[in-house]
A and B are shown apart, each in its own frame.
Chain A
């Protein structure tokens, strides 16, 4: 009690000492300073990057993937590279199943082509398929999801369509579509996109339905924010992490689907090297121990790529979630 009484006395003395005007001074209005009140140095991308770099496994795989991607692109420009479809001959016989040595770094396959060149060429094909499929999935997913979420009249119909397609096993759709069309890179991408947009569009739809009528959007609309800015600032930050995750996961999935289709005989023609074709070629000769390198080497390259994309995608989506930002 005495403490509080003391404090009050002290305060009264101070007020008496100064004039009341001295304590609270009216300041000049300054537009710049007024803005600074709401300032925080929180930046979404910087926080995302910070929590991403904390994940050491992801950083490791990112370095590996970066080197690998760079090398895949640069490899044909390096000196002494062989043509991936050229058959090498020893006298009149093709140089088949030549074990790895100084001339053929990864050996030759059962038709006598250089496996080293084929692996990198195949990686390029498979990655191109994966990236295009990922982008198309994201594009289709966002467009369809946005229509699904915004146009209320279509909601029932779209939900039913989604349920129908979702209920069919994906591998069956993939098989059916590829069986119908002649195998080529374009048709393969098409077959994978038939089902690929589903998870993306559902997520976009759910987010839009949730966010559309939330108070901050209502307030934003009342304040006259243009639609474009609302999409960019209010909606997109919620979607960006999932979009990135979907693209990152679509790449290993597409590579896997390519291997699957090739395996069941609906893959790319053998003249186009792809990881699926390489593994399929290796499978034929894998029973003799001396030519096992033909399946082991492409499998290692393929596994490193798919695991790297998978790990990075998941780590990024964790990092991009603002709930995980400290």
Chain B
């Protein structure tokens, strides 16, 4: 077990290093005007050259890469150029995180609770109306691009429920719509898998045995089926986190929440290279962390899984 955790941890760190390197190298391929903002047009070639050298961008690539690692390890993400000129990125992000984290956690919580309940209901009423409705929901959420249904939530649901369209940290009511929008895809994901695993479990021999010894249907469901079906769900926690990440990019800018997702879009639109680089790194770290947690959680939940052999040839 310990060996597996260590191996998995090492793998994550390795992935992170590769991503950092790739992001860094790709950013070097970007046009150099991205390092100057509006002043670029006013400067002549010599000035550009001089300030590039001052930023350390004329050093040989391996040296630049080394400096990059060093500054990341010391927590220095560099400085923003266009979005908020000469302000430390760490400082910008520090202001944004308090908005993003509650939304992320709320959406993971909502999707876990609602998704599992919907999945259980769907499995209990297999091929009946609740199951069909649930399936329709899953299909719509999976097939239709998130942007479309987020827009329609903003357009119509806010009207119907009289909820504020735009986010305002002071008004607790304005937290509801963004958090719910962000959890929609997670709910669909959990419901789909819980339903499938429960139906799988219900045909197993031990269920027949439990029924034969006289267990009530309700007890059977809650004591056996759901518990067994829940194990693989641990694996889907990371995917849920990834949904939340991409959801946050949309939702935060749609509801104008001053969080990290909206920041990424703003940074992209203004071509602020260092900020994009830092945010991509942060988002990929969250994704990697989520996958790591999911794998470890699954190993803890299910003693049957022999993880040492995972990824082997057979």
- Chain A residues near B (Cβ < 8 Å): 152, 155, 159-160, 163-164, 167-172, 175-176, 179-180, 209-210, 252, 255-256, 259-260, 263-266, 279, 283, 286, 292, 295, 299, 302-303, 306-307, 309-311
Q: How far is the CA of A74 from the CA of B211 in the complex (A)?
A: 60
Q: Could you tell me if B280 and A265 are in contact, using CB atoms closer than 8 angstroms? A: no
Neighbour of A302 across the interface among B145, B250, B253, B313, CB < 8 A: B145
Chain B interface residue number, banded: 35 or more
A163 touches B11 (CB 8 A): yes
- Cβ contacts under 8 Å, A163 to chain B: 11, 15, 311
Cα A236 to Cα B55 with chains together (Å) = 55
The closest CB in chain A to the CB of B282 belongs to: A172
Cβ contact within 8 Å between A303 and B147:
no
Q: Which residue of chain B is the closest to A177 with respect to CB atoms? A: B26
A172 and B283 contact, CB distance less than 8 A: yes
Query: Which residues of chain B (262-303) have a CB below 8 Å from chain A?
Result: 264-265, 268-269, 276, 280, 283-284, 286-288, 291
Known: A171-B249, A264-B268, A292-B155. A279 touches B276 (CB 8 A): no
Residue numbers in B under 8 Å from A209 (CB-CB): 313-314
A286: which B residues are within 8 A, CB to CB? Answer: 151, 155
Of B85-93, B98-106, B135-143, B215-223, which binds chain A? Answer: B135-143
Query: Cβ of A302 and Cβ of B144 under 8 Å apart?
Result: yes
CA–CA, A266 and B269, complex, Å: 8
Main secondary structure of the interface of B (DSSP, over half): helix
CA distance A160 to B284 in the complex (A): 17
Contact B287 A279 (CB under 8 A): no
B112 close to chain A: CB less than 8 A: no
State the CA gap A311–B14 with chains docked (Å): 39
For residue B51, CB closer than 8 A to chain A, the reply is: no
Task: Point out the residues of chain B lying under 8 angstroms from A171, CB to CB.
Answer: 242, 245-246, 249
Is A168's CB under 8 angstroms from B268's CB? Answer: no
Known pairs A167-B287, A302-B148; list 18 more (Cβ under 8 Å): A163-B11, A167-B288, A169-B287, A172-B283, A175-B264, A175-B268, A176-B280, A179-B276, A252-B143, A255-B145, A256-B145, A259-B148, A263-B147, A265-B268, A279-B147, A299-B151, A303-B140, A303-B143
Chain B residues near A (Cβ < 8 Å): 11-12, 14-15, 18-19, 23, 26, 29-30, 139-140, 142-148, 151-152, 155, 242, 245-246, 249-250, 253, 264-265, 268-269, 276, 280, 283-284, 286-288, 291, 311, 313-314
What are the residues of chain B within 8 A of A167 when measuring CB–CB? 12, 15, 284, 287-288, 291
Separation of A167 and B145 alpha carbons in the complex (Å): 22
Cα-based distance from A168 to B151 in the complex (angstroms): 27
Given A175-B280, A180-B26, A180-B29, check contact A168 B145 (CB 8 Å).
no
Collect the chain B residues with CB atoms within 8 Å of residue A266's CB. Answer: 268
Is B313 a contact partner of A263 (Cβ separation < 8 A)?
no
* Secondary structure type dominating chain A contacts: helix
Least distance between B302 CB and chain A CB atoms (Å): 21
**What is the minimal beta-carbon distance from A178 to any residue of chain B, in angstroms?**
9
A192 to B247, CA, bound (A): 18
Residue of B with least CB distance to A308: B143
**A295-B149 Cα distance, complex, nearest whole Å:** 11
Which of B14, B148, B284 is the one whose CB lies under 8 Å from A169?
Answer: B284
Structural contact, B287 and A172, CB atoms closer than 8 A: yes
Residue numbers in B under 8 Å from A310 (CB-CB): 139, 142-143
From known contacts A256-B146, A286-B155, infer whether A176 and B30 are also in contact, taking CB-CB under 8 Å.
no
Residues of A within 8 A of B12 (CB): 167
- Give which listed residue, A152, A180, A255, A292, contacts B313 with CB less than 8 A: A152
Partner of B14, one of A164, A168, A176: A164
* Inter-subunit contact B146/A260 (CB<8 Å): yes
Bound Cα distance A232, B104 (Å): 48
Which of A260, A263, A299 contacts B152 (CB under 8 A)?
A299
CA distance in complex: A307, B242 (Å): 22
Residues of A within 8 A of B269 (CB): 264-265
Q: Among A172, A175, A310, which residue has the most Cβ atoms of chain B within 10 A?
A: A172
Smallest CB-CB separation from A256: which chain B residue? B145
Which residue of chain B has its CB nearest to the CB of A206? B314
Tell me the nearest residue of chain B to A282, going by C-beta.
B151
**CA distance in complex: A176, B279 (Å):** 11
B29 proximity list for chain A (CB < 8 A): 180
Most buried by A among B23, B139, B145, B250: B145
Which residues does chain A contribute within 8 Å of B284, judged by CB atoms? 167-169, 172
Q: List 25 A-B contacts (CB under 8 A).
A: A152-B313, A160-B11, A163-B15, A164-B15, A164-B18, A167-B12, A167-B284, A168-B284, A168-B287, A169-B242, A172-B280, A172-B284, A179-B268, A179-B276, A209-B314, A252-B143, A256-B147, A260-B246, A264-B249, A264-B253, A266-B268, A279-B147, A299-B151, A307-B144, A311-B143
